[in-house]
Amino acid sequence: MFISILKSLVHDGSLGVIDAGGRLHKVGDGSAPSATIRLMSKAMEYRLAVNPALTVGEAYMNGALRIEEGTLYDFAAVIGRNASQARSLPWLALLNRARRHVRQSNPMSRARRNVAHHYDLSNEFYAMFLDRDMQYSCAYFHSPDDDLETAQANKKRHIMAKLLLDRRGLRVLDIGSGWGGMCLDIATHCDAEVTGVTLSTEQYRLSVERAAAAGVAERVGFHLEDYRDEAGPYDRIVSVGMFEHVGKRNYAEFFAKLRDLLTDDGVALIHTIGYSDHPAPINPFLRKYIFPGADLPSLSEIAAAVEWSGLIITDVEVLRLHYAETLRHWRERFVARRADVVRLYDERFYRMWEFYLVLCEIGFRMRTNVVFQIQLTKRLDALPIRRDYMVD
């Protein structure tokens, strides 16, 4: 059944499939990219046919699907290049329609557990593949030759420009402040009073240490709390890579809280992964193993929630291939540190994260994943009427 699905799906590129009986099946047109996989049991063949979006990742993670020729990225590239064909396959189309009605909720009681699952892995682990500033979100490439350090610095400058940090003493809130890099840069370069909120104990601990080491602890504070518990007002609010964890059922609540926290002449900037096409749930493998409680918005879902919040969308930028390049850098660094990851965790964990990084890169390079940067205010006159200040 699984091989039949692949034959109906894959027309561009080449895929070899060695079934549990040792027979080789060739799928595709013989062109690049190409890869060969081996299925280790007959039962796995049936499971892969029933729910491939979840089970392919599980099978690779557990060693039941192995790469015989090429790489995991090559295999994923073949599938990603042909994924749009799935709409014409009745069983896969039915699964996609069923998942489309899933609307994730993320109440406070669950939010901390969801964050801990992913972000409370050791800081040593994240340091293996992130840049020196520990930026775990889409970088901004001025040139294909930019290294990861440069591109992440570009991203922070790009966001700070959109926040219009044009006077001293502004009160700035960073919702989902990660390891504190954005907060430290804003405090250092813009002489602002910055507060970062996170639900990750590991991120909180390192953020506090970094602020003290940088000598800005009197101007940068971090709170280990849910953003819904924060009190304002703030002149500027930034949130990078956190909106993905809000949950579709909580979008209206998020923007209402943003409105309440923002001063009347304040500016907010939301940086989030999303879909360039219709609303849909997050990939089931990512939701189950990597980001429980996460969901990705389409632009229409964000706009609908903002319209009723009392906020005004003043600027939207769509970053397309920037995250694909960011993920390529992470993946290459991660693979190079395989032995260290296995030492810290185990081989199954390594394969789970390798699959996650590859899946996401393919999503941004070949599918419909993009990054939205959405600027918001409460008043039409809160910003200059021309956007030149964002680049000047």
CATH number, domain with residue 351: 3.40.50.150
3-state secondary structure of 282: coil
- Residue 87's pLDDT is 59
Q: Give the three-state DSSP class for 68.
A: strand
Task: Provide mean pLDDT across the span 279-289.
Answer: 91
Domain termination site, one of 67, 100, 133: 100
The answer, yes or no, to whether residue 8 has pLDDT greater than 70, is yes
Q: What is the mean pLDDT of residues 71-76?
A: 96
pLDDT band at residue 90 under the 50/70/90 scheme: low
- Looking at residue 324, its pLDDT comes to 98
One domain for residues 12 and 136: no
By three-state DSSP, how is residue 387 classified?
helix
Asked whether residue 321 falls in the same domain as residue 370, the answer is: yes
Q: How confident is the model at residue 92 (pLDDT cuts 50, 70, 90)?
A: low
pLDDT confidence bin for 86, thresholds 50/70/90: low
pLDDT digits (tens, 9 = 90+) for 229-243: 999 899 999 999 999
- Note the pLDDT of residue 218: 94
Residues 131 and 235 in one domain: yes
pLDDT of residue 4: 85
Q: Which two tokens stand for residue 214?
A: 């940088």
Last residue of a domain, one of 53, 81, 100: 100
Same domain assignment for residues 272 and 292 = yes
Q: How confident is the model at residue 76 (pLDDT cuts 50, 70, 90)?
A: very high
Task: Taking residues 66-83, report their average pLDDT.
Answer: 94
Please indicate, yes or no, whether residues 123 and 194 belong to a single structural domain of this protein: yes
Residue 302 has pLDDT above 60, yes or no: yes
Burial 35-68, CB ≥16 within 10 A → b, else e: bbbbbbeeebbebbbebbbbbbbbbbbeebbeee
Helical segments of the chain, H only: 2-9, 42-50, 52-62, 72-82, 90-100, 108-119, 123-127, 148-162, 181-190, 201-213, 251-261, 284-285, 299-307, 322-336, 338-344, 347-366
Tokens representing 361? 């890169």
Give the per-residue pLDDT at 185.
96
- At 9 the pLDDT is 86
pLDDT digits 0-9 by tens, 356-372: 999 999 999 999 999 99
pLDDT at 149: 98
Domain extent for 90: 2-100
Would you state the pLDDT for residue 51? 86
Regarding whether 270 and 128 lie in a shared domain, the answer is yes
Query: What mean pLDDT comes out for the span 126-148?
Result: 97
Domain boundary among 100, 121, 141: 100
Assign 107 a pLDDT band (cuts: 50, 70, 90): low
- Least reliable range by pLDDT among 15-19, 112-116, 284-288, 346-350: 112-116
Distance CA 323, CA 362 (A): 10
What confidence score (pLDDT) does residue 98 get?
52
pLDDT at 283 exceeding the cut of 60:
yes
- Total of domains in the chain: 2
Burial 224-247 (b: 16+ CB within 10 A, else e): bebbeebebebbbbbbbbbbbbbb
Cα–Cα distance, 55 to 44 (Å, whole number): 9
Q: Which amino acid is at 221?
A: G
Q: State whether 96 and 112 are in the same domain.
A: no
Measured CA distances, 289 to 58, 61, 286, 351 (Å): 9, 10, 6, 12
- Using one digit for the tens of pLDDT, what is the confidence trace for 147-201? 999 999 999 999 999 999 999 999 999 999 999 999 999 999 988 999 999 999 9
- How far apart CA 218 and CA 224 sit, in angstroms, is 17
Query: Are residues 226 and 367 part of one domain?
Result: yes
The band of 95, judged by pLDDT with boundaries at 50, 70 and 90, is low
Mean pLDDT of 126-132: 97
Instruction: Classify the C-alpha dihedral 130-134-135-136 as positive or negative.
Output: positive
Q: d(Cα 231, Cα 362) in Å, to the nearest integer?
A: 39
Model pTM greater than 0.75? Answer: yes
Q: Which of 138, 183, 190, 360 is catalytic?
A: 360
Query: Looking at per-residue confidence, does 103 or 230 come out higher?
Result: 230
3-class secondary-structure state, position 375: strand
Given this model, what pLDDT does residue 7 score? 87
So what's the pLDDT on residue 104? 60
Which pLDDT band, with edges at 50, 70 and 90, does 102 fall under? low
Distance between CA 131 and CA 127 in Å, rounded?
7
Tell me the sheet residues that pair with 222.
Answer: 196
To the query of whether residue 360 is one of the catalytic residues in this protein, the response is: yes
Better-scored residue on pLDDT, 350 or 86:
350
pLDDT at 228 > cutoff 70: yes
Residues 276 and 214 in one domain: yes
Q: Does the pLDDT value for residue 329 go beyond 80?
A: yes
Task: Give 168's Cβ-side CA count (13 Å radius).
Answer: 3
Say whether both 6 and 150 belong to one domain.
Answer: no
Shared domain check, 188 and 117: yes
**pLDDT the model gives residue 100:** 55
Mean per-residue pLDDT over the chain, rounded: 92
Percentage of the chain lying above the pLDDT 70 cut: 93
Are both 126 and 86 inside the same structural domain?
no
Q: In what order do the strands lie in the sheet with 24-28?
A: 24-28, 14-18, 34-39, 65-69
